[in-house]
Amino acid sequence: MGFPGTWMTESESVVYRVVPKCACSTIGQIMFYSDHGRFFDGDIHDATADMHKWALEASQPKIEANVKAHKSYAFTCVRNPYTRILSSFFDKICGIQRNGRRYRGNLVPLLIQKYGIEVGGEDGKQEFDQIRSFRRFLLFARDTIRWKKPMEPDIHWSAMAGHVSTFIVNGGRYDRIVFTEKFNEGMQSVLDRIEVAHPVDLKTIPRFNESEGHGPKRLHPVEDYFDDLSMHLMWEIYKRDFQLFRYDFDNPGNKLPKDEVDLDEVHAKLGN
């Protein structure tokens, strides 16, 4: 199985396990800049040179050797499950993607037909009941994760614990888990522990939010999208995420983690 979703700087200064919808574009660009003194021109997910990625066959032996020997500082980044799934909905379901088309082709028509979801028309710009549509999408997300129907779960809304665990199960160990909500603080702690060819000033680097502007703007506070039933579904899908990464399940309006992550607990519980 190896180390899917793992990126490493060309200089092997640092190893990062990507978790979708958790600042991965910004992190990738920081890694790229720290090696080359410039940002990748375009979406870092499209980069196929000057950086090692598990998806690139030539990078796999290097990543595997590094991770198994724990040669470099290794980290990942997580995000509040409530804001993460909302972001997935507005970007992937309501939004038009970089290629000018809907995400995953027939996914949105399927959701409109089977779950009665609205997405703001052809261009995603028309008004629609965001709260009602989101709650129906959440039901669909639960069905994909729980029963793999009507399709396999998508990486953008499958649980973070699942992404984080593959790295551990296959022989890796994290030195740090960064919170998206405390990004500068967490990322600085990573940069402080590694040697970089080009220093990174986190206060001045742009935020590479590649999903920004794909879909309609969220019109309501986070907590308005989650009624009692929605919260029940969230617990069913993301219980481990809330518990391991210390997010506040009882209050969807509190996006901040309640405590630091216990790395030993994460390795113990996700390493089976």
**Count of beta carbons in the 10 Å neighbourhood of residue 253:** 11
* Tens digit of each residue's pLDDT (9 = 90 or more) over 131-189: 999 999 999 999 999 999 999 999 999 999 999 999 999 999 999 999 999 999 999 99
Q: What is the pLDDT of residue 123?
A: 76
How far apart are the C-alpha atoms of 88 and 135, rounded to whole Å? 13
Q: What is the pLDDT of residue 212?
A: 61
Region 198-224: mean pLDDT is: 86
Q: What is the pLDDT of residue 207?
A: 81
Provide the mean pLDDT of the chain.
Answer: 95
How far apart are the C-alpha atoms of 216 and 195, rounded to whole Å? 40
How far apart are the C-alpha atoms of 23 and 11, rounded to whole Å? 22
CA dihedral 228, 231, 235, 241 (to 10 degrees): -160
Whether the pLDDT of residue 100 is over 90: the answer is no
Q: What is the pLDDT of residue 213?
A: 63
* Tens digit of each residue's pLDDT (9 = 90 or more) over 58-85: 999 999 999 999 999 999 999 999 999 9
